Each structure stands twice: as structure tokens, then as C-alpha cells.
């Protein structure tokens, strides 16, 4: 049996103000799997992503990435293998030009100029951001910023991608483009989102997190079609399963 | 009053141009600017005419680097009253007499005041022109190549980014305030405290998120600058040409020599 690339066991996290964000959360993610995490606001989804990449350290339990515990000793290696796409791309883009921003990670990895150039070009190609290379990030639209933020992560050639509310604030065209890009990426992906249609199209397995605990996990189709389970967790059926308000018919795609 | 955030963004945008001056390596530009400032400050306090040929350097950078003169003036403008204040004070303290070639006698203080204004304006223009062509990243990479300690460069880089962020957060808060206080001039006094507190907390949290993003992308003790390839012949020529010219200006009274050659008498 192939060991999971991400192994989370009984982790708990309490914020300094006493708010318990996660309680005994355990799950595994296989290599190249696309795994969705859904849940209401304040469920602990973003906290969980920050724990996976070592921005936060769990109060209890253990997280292993490729068998390595996420601790201070392994942090540099884990951050090479794992890329986190932040909820707000403005938090992620801080260099004068798009190219500089995409090259930031490879430069920190100690690559030489030629290697950096290759990484940057490949990341721009994969994310479709080549035409933006000399633009300052603050002049980009929301969709372009998200695509550039993704390129910044891809340029480090991570094995695992963590995405926090990636589809939020995108127009339908940019959202569709993002779904296409994500589905072409072969890396292991953990996608946190409230956009259940987005999860439907990008993830094969999904987990519901509510008040810091897992309330359900399983195949995307099964979980996302369970109206009672979703409503119990302050969610609702994906739009594609809600049927036409006029004739009541369904169109299921993806 | 000029929006500081706009000024920072304009500097960044100007530094992205691709002119002859922009293609000179930041280190070489930095050295020339440094030598320019050192030479300018080494002139005698009454050397006005001798300093004038030094104007050629900022003028060339502004023209070749396509830096709008309006940008330089608008950026320097807030500091000009302070310079004039110092210059006037200087004029009052230095009461010795100065005889012009035309035979008119004036207070030497006014000559040194003029020299002070000229010196300050030329220095600031040179620094601004450097930043507008090399960019802040160019400055950091020049410092790195000059073996300035990493700690200092990282501190400088973070400070620059943090100023940017502070301005952005201040802009958001002021906009939100104005939208909910129609017809009100400025910010009312009783709101200064809460708004300043909000500004600090929001900027701090945002800075923390940006720092986390940097850590996630492998940031260790220092920010690695965008190294360009090695200096070319044109970069070295740039240094030698300008440094040679500055030394000539410092050693020889060029305006006096020129006037002797052209009209047969000194200024």
C-alpha cells in the first residue's frame, strides 16, 4: 500500500485568545489526489492550511508531510515541497514586478540565474501569466492576481499545493480559467473553499470541517449531494444540484 | 500635498522603463551617484559658479532616463521650504562682505545660502534620479554587492515594503471614513485615536500575513536580490566618464575657464 503524502493525526489548535480552532482532526491525503475541505466560516479551514505548512504549530497531535514531521527542523524542506496559495493574493504579491515576484521563491531556494529563469518561464506558462511578466502586481485585476499568486507557488515546483478560497472574488470567466489550470496540475492538492461547485469540479474527495472537528469525509459526489448533511453544516447543495428554478431539471457537469 | 503612496508607486513604475540609463547596472549607478554627492558636498561654501557644471549629471539622467521633471519637482517640493529656511538663516549669520566682479558688494551669507540651496537640490535630484532608474531593488542589490551586512539590507527592504503597506492601509481607512462622513472637512479630532489604533493593528496584521507568505516561499535571514549579470564595458565606462568629469569640475573652475576662452574674461 502506498503511504499517504500528508498524514494528519489528532491535531488540535487553540489561538492565544483562547478560541479553539481545531480539535482532534485526523485525515490522510494520497499522492496526486485533489482533496477538498469545506465548512462554514470559522470552522478552522484556513488554520488547518497554516498548520500544514508550519506557519502555526499544533498544540497537540502530529502532521507528517512525506513521512517528515512538520517541525522547526524540517520546515525549510517542507516549504520547498509545499506551496500555500493565500486567500488574498495582495498578501502574497509584494515585489515591484510580476516576474520578480515569481522569481522570489526560486531565488530563496538558492538556484542560479538560468535555473530561476526556467522555473519562472514554466510557472508563467502553466498559469497563463506570461503576458503580465513586467507589470507591477498592484495594477492587475483580481483574476490576474490569483493567477500570478499561483505562478509564484508553481515556480518553486512544489509537490503539494494548498489553496485557500482560491475562487473567491473571481468573475465567472476567471473562475473557469482557474478551474482549467488547477485540473491540469498533477500535484497533490488540498483546496479549501466555500464554492461547492468549484470543489465539485476540482476535487475527488472532500471533508467537512465544522467548529474545529471533522463532521464528514468521502467521495465528492456523495458528500456534496447530501442536502441534509450540508445544511446541518451551514452549507447548501452546489448550484448544479439545486435544479432549474423554473422547470426543476438538473444539468450535472464535471 | 502629494500622496506618498502615489510617489512610491511612481518611482517603481519609472524604474521599470527600459532606457539606456535603466540598462546601466545598479551598482555602477549607485557608485556614480555616491561620488556625485561626495564631490558636491566637498565644494567650498561660496562655490556657486564652480558647482554649476555638476548640473550636467542630473540633467543627463533625467533626459536619457525619461524621468518627468514634474515628478522630481513634486517630490522635492515639500522639502524646499526647509532648505530655504536654513539658507536664509545662513544669510543672516554670515555677515562678511562679498564683492562681485561687477563691483557690487553683497553679504557673503547670501552667496553661501545660494550655494546651499543649489547643493541640496542637486543632491536630492541625483538621489531621486538614481532610485527612479535603478528602483529600490536596484539599490538593495547594489548594497549587497558592496558587501553591506545582510541584516541592514533586509531591514531596509522590509522598511520600504512596510511604508508601502502603511500607506495602503491608511488609504483604505481614510476612504471608509470619508464615505461615512459626508460634508466633513478632514478627520474630526475625537476620531484620531481610534483611527490611528486601527491603522496600527491592521498594518501589523497585514505585515504578519505578508511575512508568512515570504516564509512560505523560502525566506530565511535575508531577501535575495535580483542579481543581474556581470558589469559590461558600458557600465564601467559610465563610472569612469562621470567620476572623471566630477573630478575635473572639482579641480578646475570650468565656468571661469570657459568664459576666459569665449569672451576673454572671468565671471
3-state SS, A208-238, equals EEECCEEEEEEEHHHHHCCHHHHHHCCCCCC
Collapse the DSSP code of A25 into the 3-class scheme (helix H, G, I; strand E, B; otherwise coil) and give the result.
strand
Q: Which residues of A touch B224 (CB under 8 A)?
A: 107-108
Q: Worst-scoring range by mean pLDDT, A140-149, B42-51, B60-69, B254-263?
A: B254-263
pLDDT of residue B62: 94
Compute the nearest-CA separation of A92 from chain B (Å).
6
User: Which chain A residue shows the shortest CA-CA distance from B210?
Assistant: A91
**Residues B218, A152: C-beta atoms closer than 8 Å:** no
Q: Which residues of A touch B210 (CB under 8 A)?
A: 91-92, 94
Collapse the DSSP code of B1 into the 3-class scheme (helix H, G, I; strand E, B; otherwise coil) and give the result.
coil
Compute the nearest-CA separation of B214 from chain A (Å).
8
pLDDT of residue A254: 47
pLDDT of residue A9: 95
**Residues B227, A109: C-beta atoms closer than 8 Å:** no
Compute the nearest-CA separation of B36 from chain A (Å).
27
Q: Which residues of B touch A115 (CB under 8 A)?
A: none
pLDDT of residue B128: 93
CA distance B153 to A200: 46
In the predicted structure, residue B26 carries a pLDDT above the cut 60: yes
Compute the nearest-CA separation of A48 from chain B (Å).
15
DSSP H helices, chain A, are 45-52, 75-81, 89-92, 98-108, 113-127, 142-154, 172-184, 196-202, 220-224, 227-232, 239-242
Domain A6-89+158-242: assigned CATH number:
3.40.50.300
Residue range B170-184, pLDDT digits in tens: 888 888 887 777 777
Residue range B209-245, pLDDT digits in tens: 888 888 888 877 666 665 556 778 899 999 999 999 9
Collapse the DSSP code of A57 into the 3-class scheme (helix H, G, I; strand E, B; otherwise coil) and give the result.
coil
Degrees to nearest 5, angle at CA B261 with B258 and B263: 95
Number of helices (H), then strands (E), in chain B: 11, 2
| CA nearest neighbour of A96 among B6, B165, B15 | B15
More confident residue, A36 or B207: A36
More confident residue, A149 or B253: A149
Q: Are A199 and A17 in contact (CB under 8 A)?
A: no
Other beta carbons within 10 Å of A99:
23
In B80-237, DSSP assigns E strands to 97-99, 105-107
Other beta carbons within 10 Å of A131:
10
Do the strands B105-107 and B97-99 form a parallel or antiparallel pair, or are they unpaired? antiparallel
**Residues A91, B206: C-beta atoms closer than 8 Å:** yes
pLDDT of residue B227: 54
> Percent of chain B beyond pLDDT 90?
28
CA distance A238 to A167: 14
CA B145, B148, B151, B156 dihedral sign is negative
Query: Which residues on adjacent β-strands are paired with residue A110?
Result: none
More confident residue, B5 or B149: B149
Q: Are A79 and B215 in contact (CB under 8 A)?
A: yes
Q: Which residues of A touch B15 (CB under 8 A)?
A: 96
pLDDT of residue B1: 47
Q: Which three cell numbers stand for residue B84?
A: 530655504
Q: Which residue has the cell 482532534?
A: A24
pLDDT tens digit at each of 254 positions of chain A: 678 999 999 999 999 888 899 999 999 999 999 999 999 999 999 999 999 999 899 999 999 999 999 988 888 889 889 999 988 888 888 887 899 889 988 888 888 888 999 999 999 999 889 899 888 888 888 889 999 999 999 999 999 999 999 888 888 988 998 999 999 999 999 999 989 999 999 999 999 999 999 999 999 999 999 999 999 999 999 888 887 777 766 655 54
Q: Are B32 and B54 in contact (CB under 8 A)?
A: no
Other beta carbons within 10 Å of A41:
7
More confident residue, B71 or B158: B71
Amino acid at each position: 500500500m502506498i503511504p499517504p503524502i500528508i498524514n494528519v493525526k489528532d491535531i488540535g489548535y487553540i489561538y492565544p485568545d483562547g478560541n479553539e480552532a481545531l480539535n482532534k482532526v485526523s485525515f490522510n491525503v494520497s499522492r496526486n489526489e485533489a482533496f477538498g475541505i469545506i465548512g462554514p466560516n470559522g470552522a478552522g479551514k484556513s488554520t488547518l492550511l497554516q498548520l500544514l505548512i508550519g506557519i502555526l504549530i499544533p498544540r497537540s497531535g502530529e502532521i507528517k508531510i512525506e513521512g517528515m514531521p512538520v517541525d522547526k527542523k524540517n520546515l525549510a524542506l517542507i516549504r520547498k515541497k509545499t506551496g500555500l496559495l493565500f486567500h488574498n493574493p495582495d498578501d502574497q504579491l509584494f515585489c515591484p514586478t510580476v516576474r520578480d515576484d515569481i522569481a522570489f521563491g526560486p531565488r530563496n531556494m538558492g538556484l542560479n540565474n538560468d535555473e530561476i529563469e526556467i522555473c519562472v518561464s514554466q510557472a508563467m506558462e502553466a498559469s497563463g501569466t506570461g503576458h503580465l511578466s513586467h507589470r507591477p502586481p498592484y495594477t492587475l485585476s483580481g483574476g490576474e492576481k490569483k493567477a500570478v499568486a499561483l505562478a509564484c507557488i508553481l515556480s518553486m515546483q512544489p509537490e503539494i499545493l494548498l489553496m485557500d478560497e482560491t475562487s473567491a472574488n473571481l468573475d465567472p470567466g476567471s473562475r473557469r480559467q482557474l478551474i482549467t489550470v488547477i485540473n491540469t496540475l498533477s500535484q497533490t492538492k488540498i483546496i479549501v473553499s466555500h464554492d461547492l461547485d468549484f470543489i465539485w469540479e476540482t476535487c475527488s474527495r472532500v471533508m467537512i470541517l465544522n467548529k474545529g472537528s471533522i463532521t464528514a469525509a468521502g467521495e465528492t459526489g456523495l458528500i456534496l449531494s447530501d442536502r441534509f448533511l450540508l445544511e446541518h453544516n451551514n452549507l447548501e447543495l452546489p448550484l448544479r444540484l439545486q435544479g432549474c428554478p423554473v422547470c426543476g431539471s438538473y444539468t450535472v457537469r464535471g | 500635498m502629494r500622496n506618498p503612496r502615489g510617489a512610491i508607486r511612481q518611482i517603481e513604475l519609472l524604474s521599470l522603463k527600459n532606457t539606456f540609463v535603466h540598462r546601466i547596472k545598479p551598482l555602477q549607478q549607485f557608485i556614480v551617484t555616491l561620488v556625485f554627492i561626495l564631490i558636491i558636498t566637498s565644494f567650498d561654501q561660496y562655490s556657486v559658479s564652480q558647482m554649476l557644471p555638476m548640473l550636467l549629471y542630473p540633467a543627463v539622467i533625467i533626459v536619457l532616463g525619461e524621468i518627468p521633471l514634474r515628478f522630481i519637482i513634486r517630490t522635492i517640493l515639500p522639502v524646499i521650504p526647509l532648505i530655504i529656511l536654513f539658507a536664509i538663516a545662513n544669510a543672516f549669520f554670515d555677515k562678511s562682505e562679498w564683492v562681485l566682479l561687477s563691483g557690487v558688494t553683497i553679504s557673503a551669507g547670501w552667496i553661501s545660502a545660494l550655494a546651499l540651496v543649489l547643493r541640496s537640490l542637486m543632491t536630492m535630484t541625483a538621489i531621486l534620479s538614481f532610485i527612479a532608474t535603478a528602483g529600490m531593488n536596484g539599490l538593495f542589490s547594489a548594497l549587497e554587492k558592496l558587501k553591506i551586512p545582510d541584516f541592514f539590507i533586509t531591514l531596509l527592504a522590509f522598511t520600504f515594503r512596510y511604508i508601502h503597506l502603511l500607506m495602503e492601509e491608511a488609504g483604505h481607512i481614510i476612504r471608509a471614513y470619508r464615505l461615512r462622513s459626508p460634508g466633513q472637512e478632514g478627520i474630526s479630532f475625537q476620531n484620531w485615536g481610534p483611527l490611528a489604533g486601527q491603522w496600527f493593528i491592521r498594518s501589523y496584521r497585514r505585515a504578519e500575513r505578508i511575512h508568512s507568505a515570504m516564509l512560505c516561499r523560502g525566506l530565511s535571514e535575508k531577501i535575495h536580490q535580483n542579481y543581474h549579470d556581470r558589469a559590461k564595458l558600458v557600465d564601467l565606462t559610465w563610472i569612469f566618464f562621470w567620476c572623471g568629469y566630477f573630478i575635473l569640475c572639482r579641480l578646475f573652475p570650468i565656468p571661469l575657464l570657459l568664459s576666459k576662452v569665449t569672451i576673454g574674461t572671468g565671471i
